[in-house]
Structure 1
């Protein structure tokens, strides 16, 4: 569970930002934001004044929220008439996370607090959450240990001719037995993910909605992501790209397996992917510009003659090579074109250089790193090598 000191530190950082922007406070309604600052994911609304004590208004379950919350003033959600009385008359400018708030909810709180100006603090919130404390880094390291154990067990159950979905089920079964929570929260609109994906050359090149290098075929048009009923062949790369979620925190890793031998072109691409990952990891230092790291990765792929396959099928390439992880899979920062932001110590990123060859398969690597003064700290101990069976 979140410690009281951890919560107070986070709230203090937020209050400094609010004061700097001349705001009177921030109102959080999105569950994972409420959890980040309060320690409970119960159905609640959190008010954090620019100075002073925060308040947590709970709809359900008040009993559980009261037991879990790090906020001293945790109370039942008041009636519409009583709600404005919880705010002083001096409160006029309120921060709100426009990136995730439905219009209906925005209008509801505007009606409850007439005369107040609601200002978007999505970027402020995401920047605060991007920098992980020592406690948070320990949660992610634990995820790495547990996920690594499942990856190590793959040779016990991966067989030629089994369906992708059976491979995924075996992997997910072991991860769940280890205590994995399964929730893979994503902030971006219209994005969703069921734990991860296990795909072979039969479907790895399939394009889709997911904002990443690989989508997979999925089980239907309603769930067009991840493993399918396709059979896993010999002599082709098998991608297992999974998250592990423990205590709310996420780690993201990818490993490749081959039953037999691998096409030389794919072996070459794997070497390039590892070289890109290693370069980026060495340069995950404070002050490094995210866009510049992405452009260097693209340059390395281009120099290797693989640019059209980098981070997606030709013509549908994703324009990033790394993304922040934490309580959500798509946190800040992003190593992407247009993201001209310097890295900060304590940020955590999944670095995932991958190459997609329609008809042949996908190859690459992914690990989660923490930004340090000396470069990226790998948050798992699993070797990067392709596993041949």
Structure 2
């Protein structure tokens, strides 16, 4: 949990940007945004004026919010008639996060705060949150070390004849014993993820809804992501792709395993994935343009003869090769076409060049890096090599 100095620093940065944009204050109702600024995830709303102290208004649990939060003014959630008094008429332009604000909630606040202008500050908040403080980076390094330690144990329990679900259950059991929180929070609409995936062979190459390269078959049409009940065979690629979530902060990581040997084309694709990751990691410096990095990765995949398999099932590929991580899995920035913005020092990005071969399996690698002046700092400290069992 962030301390008062850390949260106050974040609030000051937000207030400076609100003033620059001519916005009188920000009203936050999304739990992770509230946690970021107030150090509590209790059911509440957070009012941050462009000038002056913030106010946290709690539905439940007030007592826990009072014990956890760094905000000084904490009150019960007010009735609708009291809101105009709390957010006075002098606050005309109010920022809301439209990307995660249900229409019902928008209408509610529009009704209790009449004659105000609401403006979207989603991009502003995501930009501010993308740059990690020294305090946040240390949490993410810790998450990386803990997750890597669980990955390092996989050869102890992965055996031929296991089902994918058995592998995932053993991995998750060991991670939970280490204090893994398990909440894989995603901001994108209609996306969800159950902690990670352990998939093998043709089951791993199943197409699916998830906005990523590899989806897996899952357990049913209602849960079509991740491990299935399929048996793990010899000589097929086994991909384990999990997040590590400790003290709220997550890292993302993938390693490849095999009993025997990979099919030659899959082995070649894995070697290309390592080269792409190395190229991009070295280029994670302030000022590098995100879309250029995606183009570089895509060109390397095409040159190696794997363009149709890069980042997903042919014809259904994910449109990125790296994504920001932190309190959420899908933070900014994104290494993707159209994302023509420069990297900033201390942004944290999961780079995941992967290849999908229908009917055969998947190959790839993923690590989380922090943008630095000398290139990306690897936050998931485990060798990247294929593990042969």
The two structures have a TM-score, normalised by structure 2, of 0.99
Residue 313 of structure 1 is matched in structure 2 by 313
Q: Supply the distance in 1 between the matched residues of 2:381 and 2:327 (Cα, whole angstroms).
A: 21
Residue 145 of structure 1 is matched in structure 2 by 145
Flag structure 1 segments of 5+ consecutive residues without an equivalent.
none
Residue 260 of structure 1 is matched in structure 2 by 260
Q: Is the 8 A contact 1:202 1:231 kept in 2?
A: no
Structure 1 residue 70: deviation in Å?
0.7
Residue 358 of structure 1 is matched in structure 2 by 358
Q: Supply the distance in 2 between the matched residues of 1:303 and 1:151 (Cα, whole angstroms).
A: 31
Structure 1 residue 80: deviation in Å?
1.3
In the TM superposition, structure 1's runs of 4+ consecutive aligned residues that sit over 6 Å from their partners are: none
Q: Supply the distance in 2 between the matched residues of 1:84 and 1:159 (Cα, whole angstroms).
A: 63
Aligned-partner SS, 2:202: coil
Residue 24 of structure 1 is matched in structure 2 by 24
Q: Does 2:241 match 1:241?
A: yes
Residue 34 of structure 1 is matched in structure 2 by 34
Query: Deviation string for 1:165-197 (max 9, x for gaps)?
Result: 010000000000100000000000000000000
Q: Does 2:211 match 1:211?
A: yes
Residue 172 of structure 1 is matched in structure 2 by 172
Residue 47 of structure 2 is matched in structure 1 by 47
Q: Supply the distance in 2 between the matched residues of 1:116 and 1:56 (Cα, whole angstroms).
A: 20
Q: Does 2:134 match 1:134?
A: yes
Query: Deviation string for 1:99-132 (max 9, x for gaps)?
Result: 0000000100111100111100000000000000
Residue 335 of structure 1 is matched in structure 2 by 335
Q: Does 2:229 match 1:229?
A: yes
Q: Is the 8 A contact 1:320 1:337 kept in 2?
A: yes
Query: Deviation string for 1:124-146 (max 9, x for gaps)?
Result: 00000000001101111111111
Structure 1 residue 49: deviation in Å?
0.4
Q: Supply the distance in 2 between the matched residues of 1:167 and 1:87 (Cα, whole angstroms).
A: 52
Q: Supply the distance in 2 between the matched residues of 1:341 and 1:121 (Cα, whole angstroms).
A: 18
Residue 386 of structure 2 is matched in structure 1 by 386
Q: Supply the distance in 2 between the matched residues of 1:3 and 1:89 (Cα, whole angstroms).
A: 32
Q: Supply the distance in 2 between the matched residues of 1:112 and 1:195 (Cα, whole angstroms).
A: 38
Q: Supply the distance in 2 between the matched residues of 1:121 and 1:372 (Cα, whole angstroms).
A: 27
Q: Supply the distance in 2 between the matched residues of 1:125 and 1:149 (Cα, whole angstroms).
A: 33
Residue 11 of structure 1 is matched in structure 2 by 11
Number of residue pairs the alignment of both structures matches: 389
Q: Does 2:79 match 1:79?
A: yes
Q: Supply the distance in 1 between the matched residues of 2:182 and 2:84 (Cα, whole angstroms).
A: 38
CA RMSD of aligned residues (A): 0.6
Query: Deviation string for 1:293-330 (max 9, x for gaps)?
Result: 00000000011011000000111111100000000000
Q: Supply the distance in 1 between the matched residues of 2:87 and 2:122 (Cα, whole angstroms).
A: 22
Residue 183 of structure 2 is matched in structure 1 by 183
Spell out the pairing of 1:266-345 with structure 2 (5 A cutoff).
266-345=266-345
Aligned-partner SS, 1:272: helix
Residue 346 of structure 1 is matched in structure 2 by 346
Residue 59 of structure 2 is matched in structure 1 by 59
Q: Supply the distance in 2 between the matched residues of 1:332 and 1:320 (Cα, whole angstroms).
A: 12
Deviates more, 1:81-90 or 1:61-70: 81-90
Aligned-partner SS, 1:57: strand
Structure 1 residue 79: deviation in Å?
1.4
Aligned-partner SS, 1:82: helix
Flag structure 2 segments of 5+ consecutive residues without an equivalent.
none
Q: Is the 8 A contact 1:202 1:230 kept in 2?
A: no
Structure 1 residue 88: deviation in Å?
2.3
Q: Supply the distance in 1 between the matched residues of 2:65 and 2:292 (Cα, whole angstroms).
A: 43
